[in-house]
């Protein structure tokens, strides 16, 4: 099988080499796989397609555990990764090149120290991981399911790439680099209020068995996770997200669309 990415890679290093346009059939397949991309206005889809070509030119995909990353998979990941930076630009992702794709969830070794000073070792199932200044790791099984899980506001690719955006100014703290002190203050106020309300809702549901909130409760674990989880929903199910977080939609529009 002709590997289109390999052809693309061959262009790298050639002076004036331009990224090849993504083949029509492959692009259409990607849109079909992810209705939240297909539903975007034609001009935005075209812009995304161009950005995806540039993204693929600069990123390196590696399959873990014997997984072969096909063109199909690379374009699927790239198309979702580029969505948050459609207006911001690819320079937001210029601190890394590697994207590692696992066949399914990864088991990561973790340890915690309890109040008595005892260290507990355990394994945690991860759908993805983003390292500061390093690669993004993703579970293909979950990337592939992202068309269907958009209904619930889930998207593992967007989640991890939002962490990368968040970490542009250091630690993942739920606040990306912003242009001014005023923007920073507005971000903090709006996010903090939404986060506090959400944590309260999650806690109430857990304590009293009430209905859990629509947004993934994982967002209540830390401000950085809240930012990532909220953005997943904002990008793949804006309408439903806005019902619960209208103020965040305005805040995110201002940041991601540079309004
Ligand atoms: Zn996360």
User: Ligand 1 centroid to 223 CA: how many Å?
Assistant: 10
User: Ligand 1 centroid to 83 CA: how many Å?
Assistant: 17
User: Ligand 1 centroid to 20 CA: how many Å?
Assistant: 32
Element counts in the chain: helices (H) and strands (E): 12, 6
Question: What is the chain's percent helix, strand, coil content, to nearest 5?
Answer: 60, 10, 30
User: Ligand 1 centroid to 245 CA: how many Å?
Assistant: 19
Say if CB 190 and CB 251 are below 8 A apart: yes
User: Ligand 1 centroid to 256 CA: how many Å?
Assistant: 19
For 15, half-sphere exposure in the C-beta direction (CA atoms, 13 angstrom radius) is 0
User: Ligand 1 centroid to 190 CA: how many Å?
Assistant: 20
User: Ligand 1 centroid to 200 CA: how many Å?
Assistant: 20
Mean pLDDT confidence for 81-110: 94
Q: Is the pLDDT of residue 16 over 50?
A: no
Q: If you ran DSSP here, which 8-state letter would residue 220 be given?
A: G
Q: Which has the minimum average pLDDT: 41-55, 100-114, 240-254?
A: 100-114
Q: Which SS3 state, helix, strand or coil, does residue 39 take?
A: coil
Q: Would you state the structure tokens that stand for residue 203, as one six-digit string?
A: 């806690």
pLDDT tens column, 131-158? 898 999 999 999 999 999 999 999 999 9
The proportion of the chain whose per-residue pLDDT surpasses 70, expressed as a percent, equals 92
Mean pLDDT confidence for 219-240: 97
Q: Is the pLDDT of residue 17 over 80?
A: no
d(C-alpha 101, C-alpha 240), whole Å: 29
Mean pLDDT confidence for 100-105: 95
User: Ligand 1 centroid to 14 CA: how many Å?
Assistant: 37
User: Ligand 1 centroid to 142 CA: how many Å?
Assistant: 14
Give the confidence band of 2 by pLDDT, cuts at 50, 70, 90: very low
pLDDT for res 3: 55
Q: Would you state the structure tokens that stand for residue 31, as one six-digit string?
A: 């849109």
User: Ligand 1 centroid to 127 CA: how many Å?
Assistant: 9
Q: Is the pLDDT of residue 256 over 50?
A: yes
The residue count of the chain comes to 259
Return the residue matching tokens 């975007």: 40
Q: Which has the minimum average pLDDT: 50-59, 119-128, 248-257?
A: 119-128
Q: Is the pLDDT of residue 20 over 90?
A: no
Give the count of beta carbons closer than 10 Å to the beta carbon of residue 8.
18
Most confident of 1-5, 20-24, 131-135: 131-135
Give the confidence band of 7 by pLDDT, cuts at 50, 70, 90: low
d(C-alpha 40, C-alpha 31), whole Å: 10
User: Ligand 1 centroid to 141 CA: how many Å?
Assistant: 17
Mean pLDDT confidence for 199-203: 96
User: Ligand 1 centroid to 117 CA: how many Å?
Assistant: 27
pLDDT tens column, 41-65? 999 999 999 999 999 999 999 999 9
d(C-alpha 174, C-alpha 60), whole Å: 27
User: Ligand 1 centroid to 15 CA: how many Å?
Assistant: 38
Locate the DSSP E strands across 57-174.
Answer: 60-63, 98-102, 106-113, 119-126, 128-130, 136-139
Bridge partners (DSSP) listed for residue 138: 101, 128
User: Ligand 1 centroid to 224 CA: how many Å?
Assistant: 7
110 versus 13: which is more confidently predicted?
A: 110
pLDDT tens column, 154-194? 999 999 999 999 999 998 999 999 999 999 999 999 999 99
Helix (H), strand (E) at residue 48: helix 42-58
User: Ligand 1 centroid to 129 CA: how many Å?
Assistant: 7
Cα 209 to chain centroid distance, Å, stands at 30
Mean pLDDT confidence for 233-238: 98
């Amino acid at each position: 099988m002709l590997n289109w990415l390999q052809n693309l890679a061959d262009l790298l290093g050639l002076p004036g080499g331009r990224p090849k346009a993504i083949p029509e059939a492959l692009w259409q397949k990607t849109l079909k796989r992810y209705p939240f991309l297909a539903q975007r206005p034609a001009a935005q889809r075209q812009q995304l397609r161009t950005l995806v070509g540039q993204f693929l030119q600069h990123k390196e995909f590696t399959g873990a555990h014997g997984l072969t990353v096909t063109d199909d998979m690379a374009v699927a990941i790239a198309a979702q990764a580029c969505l948050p930076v459609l207006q911001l630009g690819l320079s937001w992702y210029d601190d890394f090149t590697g994207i590692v794709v696992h066949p399914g969830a990864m088991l990561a070794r973790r340890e915690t120290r309890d109040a008595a000073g005892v260290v507990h070792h355990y394994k945690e199932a991860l759908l993805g991981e983003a390292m500061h200044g390093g690669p993004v790791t993703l579970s293909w099984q979950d990337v592939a399911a992202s068309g269907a899980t958009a209904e619930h506001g889930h998207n593992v690719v967007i989640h991890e790439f939002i962490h990368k955006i968040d970490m542009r100014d250091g630690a993942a703290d739920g606040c990306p680099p912003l242009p001014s002190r005023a923007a920073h203050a507005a971000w903090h106020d709006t996010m903090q209020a939404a986060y506090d309300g959400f944590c309260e809702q999650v806690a109430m549901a857990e304590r009293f068995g009430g209905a859990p909130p629509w947004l993934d409760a994982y967002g209540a674990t830390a401000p950085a996770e809240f930012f990532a989880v909220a953005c997943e929903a904002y990008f793949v199910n804006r309408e439903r997200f806005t019902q619960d977080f209208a103020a965040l939609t305005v805040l995110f529009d201002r940041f991601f669309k540079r309004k």
